[in-house]
Structures are given as C-alpha cells and as structure tokens.
Amino acid sequence: MADKIDLKEQPHRRLNPLTKEWIKVSPHRTKRPWNGQVEKPMLDKKPAFDPACYLCPGNERAGGHKNPDYKGTFVFENDFAALLKDTPQSELNDGLFQAKSERGLCKVICFSPRHDLTISLMNLQEVTAVVKTWQKEFTDLGKLDYINHVQIFENRGSVMGCSNPHPHGQIWAEEIIPDIPATEQKNQKEYLKKNGTSLLTDYVASELEKKERIIFENDSFAALVPFWAVWPFETMILPKRQMRNIIEMNEKESTDLADALKRMGTRFDNLFQTSFPYSMGLHQAPTDGEDHEEWHFHIHYYPPLLRSATVKKFMVGYEMLGMPQRDITAEGSAARLRDCSEEHYTLTIGA
C-alpha cells in the first residue's frame, strides 16, 4: 500500500462502523468555490392556527376524533396506523416466499399547539417538553410486553413526503427490532466484545478531540457530521457519556438535548434560509428486557438538500445500483454548518 490516503484530494471510500456499509467520496470534484446558490429566503408566514389542519387544537381528525384544546405537546394513536396491536400471529413459510405477521402501534406527537412553529423556532422550555414527552412514551410503550422496540422520528417538509407543516413527529412501537437498529446493535455488540468499550462512546470522544467534523457541543451532547455521512448534510447528535436510551438522562441532560435539537434545527434552517426538510430519529436500545451494554443512544438527521433550498440530492444511477457517493466531504459540510448562525434567519431579517 502506498502513502497515507489524502481524504481531501483522492477519490476514496469510507466505512460506517455502525452498519459496515461503505460510502464513496469524490472530493476532487468540488474544486470549484462554494457558491451557495442565491435564492430568496423563505419568509412565508403561516397562521398560528389553521382551521383546516388536522393537528391544530380543537380541530377534527379522520374518523371523527376531535383534538383537545391542548396547550403543550399532544399525543394520539395514529388514525391510519401502519401497525396494529391485535394482529394475530401467523406466518407464511414456503421456500422463497416468507412472511410473518407484525404487531405494534403507531402514535403521532404534536410538538406544539402552534401551527407556525418548528423545533428551531420553539423556545428551550417548549423543546424540553418534547424531550419529556418522548421519555414518557418510551417508558410507557417499552413496558408493554409485546413491544420490543420504540422508533421515535420526525419527518419534515414536503420534499420528504410530509404534507402537514404543523410541528409533529411519530412513534412506531413494535414487536420486532427493525433492520437498521438491529444492524447497529450487532455492530455495537461486536465492538464491545472486541474492545471492551462502546463503539459510539469511543467515536464521540475521538471526534471531540479531532474537532474537524464537530458542528457544536454543549455540556452533555455533541453535534457532528459523521465521518461516513451519505447525505450532503447528514448529521448526528450524540450524548458525550454512554446512555442506552433517553430515560437514562437526568434533568440537566434532558434540557441539554433540547438545546442541541433547537441549535441543530436553527443551523439547518439558516444554511439555505429555508425551513429545512429532513427525516430525523432516535436510535436507542430495544425494550426487550435485555441489558444492552453495547448501546449508546443517538439521533440521526437525514436531510435531502444539496446546494440550496430547492436543489436536492438524488440517490440515483450508480448509487441506486452500486453504492452511495458524495462529492462534498463530511469535513466540508461540517465547516459550513459550523459557520451558520444560531440566531434564526427569520428573526434577524425582519420577517
């Protein structure tokens, strides 16, 4: 093998140790200077209450349910749940044709009664209330004997297929551990067995030392672009100390997580001066009654945007058939997000 690889100049691939998948990086293609395409900042004002929104307080949802006049967060069982509690256990076992019934339940969480807010525009106390709601749901759902995994997530923006701008997230709680957290678990277990320490606890500590992919930190959390990021502005929020799930956080850590969520959201919105679309979600230890010493909970953000509020990355062609690829490096993306202000653009340009 020749000299040390030049991650800034040479085409290369990087390993994601959580999934054991590779990402191809072509940094030489970004020699042109960054010209963060100038588009008009998005300043459209939404109403604080929308009579046509099925998530606003007091409004009617599908099936005749009426939302209460809620003041903080509000949780309800999804009227079109993808998983049902009373599915009978059954399976198809016919050679290449395999199927199993799935049991679970789905909930929707309104983050705020205000139709016009997002995590980045809510105050710290309001975002802390979202974190506390996640903790309560994780605790309650995790106790159900047929629930072994609780997936908390937020899907935001019309390009992500989310049609309702009212700030909300979802929870899918189910019997099985879905494939992605199951793979992360397998690799965290293997790492623990080999090294005697937790993969992500070691990872966050060495990123904090290296600094080049860190976006910001507070006392309890670090926000970074992972070395193996696939999406141009993919990020992670990781607790600095090992915690298997969000109910291991103390009061201070819960507020610090809210602080990190708000700051991450604000930097994202400021990057292209738009209400930044993404899918984000928590990965935590399963609620299957096992110890899970290997787990270090974390949040993934997967935003689709590449160069501006309207130019998104498509995973097509070679990527659909071969493997994912990116031009801008994780370090370049981290630098851009690091340069973003933590004052929301709509508040500073007089919207």
Structure tokens at 267: 């930097």
Residue whose C-beta lies closest to ligand H2U:
61
Consult the annotation and say whether 102 binds a ligand: no
Strand ranges in the chain using DSSP code E only, listed in sequence order: 12-16, 21-25, 74-77, 91-94, 97-100, 104-110, 149-156, 168-174, 214-217, 221-224, 235-239, 278-283, 298-302, 325-326
Instruction: Give the one entry of ligand H2U, Zn ion, none that residue 293 binds, where binding means its C-beta sits below a cut-off of 5 to 8 angstroms depending on kind.
Output: none
Instruction: Please tell me whether 110 is known to bind a ligand.
Output: no
Encoded tokens for 255: 């507020």
C-alpha 224/C-alpha 213 separation (Å) is 5
Residue 52 Cβ vs Zn ion, minimum distance, rounded to whole Å: 8
The type of residue at 2 is A
Out of 55, 130, 223, 264, point to the residue binding Zn ion (CB under 5 A).
55
Q: Which does 108 bind (CB under 5 to 8 A by kind): Zn ion, ligand H2U, none?
A: ligand H2U
Q: How many CB atoms within 10 Å of residue 276?
A: 25
Binding of Zn ion by 166 (CB under 5 A): yes
Residue 138 assigned to a binding site: no
Residue from the set 53, 130, 150, 224 that interacts with Zn ion by CB under 5 A: 53
**Which one from 168, 292, 296, 344 is the annotated catalytic residue?**
168
Name the DSSP letter for residue 306: S
CB of 281 to ligand H2U, least distance (A): 12
Instruction: Note whether 108 binds ligand H2U by CB under 6 A.
Output: yes
Query: Is 53 marked as binding a ligand?
Result: yes
Specify the DSSP element, H or E, that contains 335.
Answer: helix 330-339
Measured in whole angstroms, the distance separating CA 237 from the mean position of its chain's CA atoms is: 9
162 is in an annotated binding site: yes
22, 49, 54, 302: which one binds ligand H2U (CB under 6 A): 54
Q: Which stretch binds ligand H2U (CB under 6 A): 125-133, 161-169, 236-244, 327-335?
A: 161-169
Q: Can you tell me which of 7, 83, 162, 247 binds ligand H2U, judged by CB under 6 A? A: 162
Residue 78 lies near ligand H2U (rule: CB under 6 A) = yes
168 is catalytic: yes
Tell me the β-bridge partners of 217.
222
Known binding residue 166? Answer is yes
Q: Taking a C-beta distance cutoff of 8 angstroms, is the pair 29, 11 a contact?
A: no
DSSP 5-59: P-TTTS-EEEEETTTTEEEEE-GGGG-SPP---------PPPPSS-TT-TTSTT-
Q: Which residues bind ligand H2U (CB under 6 A)?
A: 54, 61-62, 78-80, 108, 155, 162-164, 170
Q: Which residues bind Zn ion (CB under 5 A)?
A: 50, 53, 55-56, 115, 166
**Which residues form the catalytic set?**
168
